[in-house]
Amino acid sequence: MNFLKGEKHMGKAKKVVLAYSGGVDTSVCIPYLKKEYGVEHVIAFAADLGQGDELDEIKKKAISAGASQSIIGNLVKPFIEDFAFPAIRSNALYQGRYPLSTALARPLIAKKLVEIAKELNADGVAHGCTGKGNDQVRFDVTIGALAPDLQLLTPAREWGMSREETIAYGEKYGIVPPVSKKNPYSIDLNLLGRSIEAGPLEDPFEMPLDEVFGITSSIADSPNEPEIVDILFENGYPVAIDGELMEPVSLIKKANSLAGKHGFGRLDIIEDRVVGIKSREIYETPGLLLLIKAHQEIESLTLPADLLDTKSRLERQWADLVYKGFWFSPLKEALDGFINYSQKQVNGTVRVRLFKGNADVIGRKSKENSLYISDMSTYGSEDKFNHKSAEGFIYVWGLPSRIWSWINK
């Protein structure tokens, strides 16, 4: 079997596609790959995930750092449709809290890296992830699953330089570090949200300053009047807000704007990384959290209890798989099949009140698929429930407990 031939020790890659962000590590990777690895052509690939960066500047920066070619790929539409929307249907929250805003982007970027490598006849791919983070796992596992024949180069995991040494190395090649004493944070941004770490946030007892946040209002600055929004779901997909049908990208933008304006979607958590390290993470994911919360509510109205119970357990497993890099795996695909089937009757509208950092569900309805039957639930004169039938049900239901008591008294 030759499935391990993509390991870096099996030969020297001459043409490599690099996952490029424009930051210090990925910028330094370009001259480092050429000088230390003997790579002749570094092709920098930067993904447009709706982060709003000046991507033309990133493209120029890659060339100035020594890249033979710099490619910008607009991945916004597949990011939302093929990754974010399945996460909403799965109510995906890692450890019950983090909505995978960053993790969802990595398998998509890795998939595109592989596609570009094949299109340009490159013999390797590379990334600038360090050995402490989650992204290295997501890139490595995804690339290995999709193209085990490609060589994988991971210079930032191997060069052994400190942050200061990395910056100094880059400065020799004209690479100016974007992080300064005035901005000590490491920030990852895409259309689903922002993740912020490093700097003062490395002390888990230190309260994050307002300067950390960029897409959500503080409680003090949020509107003094609540706002009511209606979110329509069809087959588990959010399709409209306040009666306006929208395609997925526009809907996410609208949800971000509404929830962010009212200060909803901020998370300050201690998170367990794949490599076994606990980290302090700050997230802003206003739209994604709002849509997941609303989706959970419409499911409560349209799915039976046993399906809800089973799905809630599988949802956590789904989120774990995605967080740990197994988007392209047999188990993930099998879980997708279960989730897709479960969403056929998840249709209806959820009403949410946004106010001062909260998103409170205040109503839900489903014309065709509601399992809430008023004639059964009411205590009024129209009550259709046969109360006498409860006695026999309870007798049988409690029979194991009574038998246990008789035998062991």
User: Could you tell me if 126 and 67 are in contact, meaning their C-beta atoms sit under 8 angstroms apart?
Assistant: no
Confidence of residue 132 (pLDDT cuts 50, 70, 90): confident
Residue 174: per-residue pLDDT? 86
In whole angstroms, give the CA distance from residue 53 to residue 58: 8
Q: How far is CA 274 from the centre of its chain?
A: 15
**Spatial contact of 14 and 117, defined as CB atoms under 8 Å apart:** no
Burial label for 88, CB within 10 Å (0-12, 13-18, 19+), is: buried
The confidence score (pLDDT) of residue 184 equals: 78
User: What are residue 353's DSSP bridge partners?
Assistant: 228, 360
Annotated catalytic residue: which of 21, 90, 101, 106?
A: 106
Contact by Cβ (8 Å): 41, 213 = no
Average pLDDT, integer, range 99-108: 96
> Helix, strand, coil proportions of the chain in percent (round to 5)?
40, 20, 35
Residue among 21, 25, 90, 138 flagged as catalytic: 25
Active-site position among 135, 194, 217, 266: 135
φ and ψ at residue 89, rounded to 5 degrees = -65, -25
| DSSP assigned state of 200 | G
pLDDT 10s digits, 297-334 = 999 999 999 999 999 999 999 999 999 999 999 999 99
Choose the catalytic residue: 64, 68, 186, 370: 186
Q: What domains lie within the chain, and their CATH numbers?
A: 8-178 (3.40.50.620), 191-365 (3.90.1260.10), 380-404 (no CATH)
Is 135 considered catalytic here?
Answer: yes
Per residue in 362-381, pLDDT (tens digit) is 999 999 999 998 777 777 66
Concatenated DSSP letters for 231-282?
A: EEEETTEEEEETTEE--HHHHHHHHHHHHHHTT--EEEEEEE-TTS-EEEEE
DSSP designation for 90: T
Tell me, yes or no, if 250 is annotated catalytic.
no
**pLDDT of 6 higher than 90:** no
pLDDT value of residue 8: 46
309 given a catalytic annotation: no
42 bridge partner residues: 16
Confirm if 156 and 29 have CB atoms less than 8 A apart.
yes
**Whether residue 210 lies in the annotated active site:** no
Predicted confidence (pLDDT) at residue 183 exceeds the cutoff of 60: yes
